[in-house]
Amino acid sequence: MERVTVPIPGRSYDVVIGQDVLGRADAFVPDLPGATRAFVIADRTVADAWFVPLCDALARRAVHAVLLTVPAGEAAKTLDVYRTLVHQLATQEAHRDDPVVALGGGSTGDLGGFVASTYMRGTPFVQVPTTLTAQVDAAIGGKTAVNLPEGKNLVGTFHQPVVVISEIGALATLSDREFRSGLAEVAKYALTLDVDLLDELERDPGPVLAREPDALERLVGRCARAKAGCVSEDERDAGKRMVLNYGHTLGHALERIDAFAGRSHGEAIAVGMVFAARLSAALSGPADLPARTTRLLSSLGLETDGPLPSADEIVRAFALDKKFHRGIRFVVLRDVGRPEVADRVGEAEIRRILHEMGAT
């Protein structure tokens, strides 16, 4: 088992990573005086697999778990689903001391955190991520959000969890596509913050691809430590934490254009990182970065090309990105392990690279 602390002043919390940690959740959830119920948000498939052991663990703390089911994936991240959940909490007379628990992937965590941050002006929030994407990235750092038709994560808050419990055993149940999607976020950390991890993945990704539990525990721990370092220095995403958006400017644009139903998040981010590598090379970064990025992502089973919308559609989508500030901003690499934010990249350069990648 690994334990990573996210050292935010006044409200630090632990990320607990291991096998069968969900069944021992009572040992890791901090004291919540006055809590008698925990409202667990999960989709039906995840609930069928993991609600009972979580329920049993919370019962040992004299906390009764109440299940609130939501749609799977991005379909849960809407204002309508949010509205239904807060009405359910009010109808069941949930109190400010009763925690909201997000059991599932990144979408469930984003939604659950938004509910926890706004119901009664804030309730305790517990993250129990069951996907690789959520364990290495989405569950850590306190970002919460729902989507609008106009864009991804446009309505949200910052609300840190009191603990993150990452059950490694859940990763064995993921589809190959969902697991590979999470590896895109792993590749992001390797390229931007953890060059030793990059070297390991380039040398032999076999244990990770085989989902060996010990390898996954170490991998999730490394990514959690990388993110914890960024979050502790920049909780509100105004400085260093922005480097975690490497590949996400184009990735989020593709998700929006696909109406959140085409590429998975990781698949979109993989294409976004190829774009970011090409842009980095054009801005005096390593000339071999695009080829190195493509090799890494391909070795992890991720597609690095595929059809792109028109450049006009993509540029319009960029304008709705949360990182847009008097111009399109991208995270680029001066070198592997040396990310920086590029402000006001020229539109002509953006279009040139998009056309090289196949956009019309």
Domain ranges of the chain: 2-173, 176-356
Residue in the block written with tokens 């990781």: 266
Confirm if 347 and 265 have CB atoms less than 8 A apart: no
User: Which tokens is 220 given?
Assistant: 């999730």
pLDDT score for 259: 57
Q: How far apart are CA 289 and CA 358, in angstroms?
A: 19
Q: How far apart are CA 354 and CA 124, in angstroms?
A: 43
User: Which of 87, 95, 101, 153 has its CA nearest to residue 130?
Assistant: 101
Residue 253: left if φ>0, alpha if ψ -120 to 50, beta else—which one? alpha
The fold of 2-173 is Rossmann fold (3.40.50)
User: Which of 216, 218, 244 has its CA nearest to residue 231?
Assistant: 244
Confirm if 271 and 306 have CB atoms less than 8 A apart: yes
pLDDT score for 261: 46
The answer to whether the 2-173 and 176-356 domains have the same CATH topology is no
pLDDT score for 262: 77
pLDDT score for 236: 81
Q: Domain 176-356 - what CATH class?
A: mainly alpha
Q: How far apart are CA 276 and CA 145, in angstroms?
A: 25
Tens digit of pLDDT at every position of the chain (360 positions): 999 999 998 889 999 999 999 999 999 999 999 999 999 999 999 999 999 999 999 999 999 999 999 999 999 999 999 999 999 999 999 999 999 999 999 999 999 999 999 999 999 999 999 999 999 999 999 999 999 988 788 999 999 999 999 999 999 999 999 999 999 999 999 999 999 999 999 999 999 999 999 999 999 999 999 999 999 987 887 777 889 999 999 998 998 887 544 789 999 999 999 999 999 999 999 999 999 999 999 999 999 988 899 999 999 988 876 555 567 889 999 999 999 999 878 999 999 999 999 998
The residues facing 335 across adjacent strands are 338
pLDDT score for 297: 98
Exposure pattern of 136-174 as b/e (b: 16+ CB <10 Å)?
bbbbbbbbbbbbeeebbbeebeebbbbbbbbbbbbbeeb
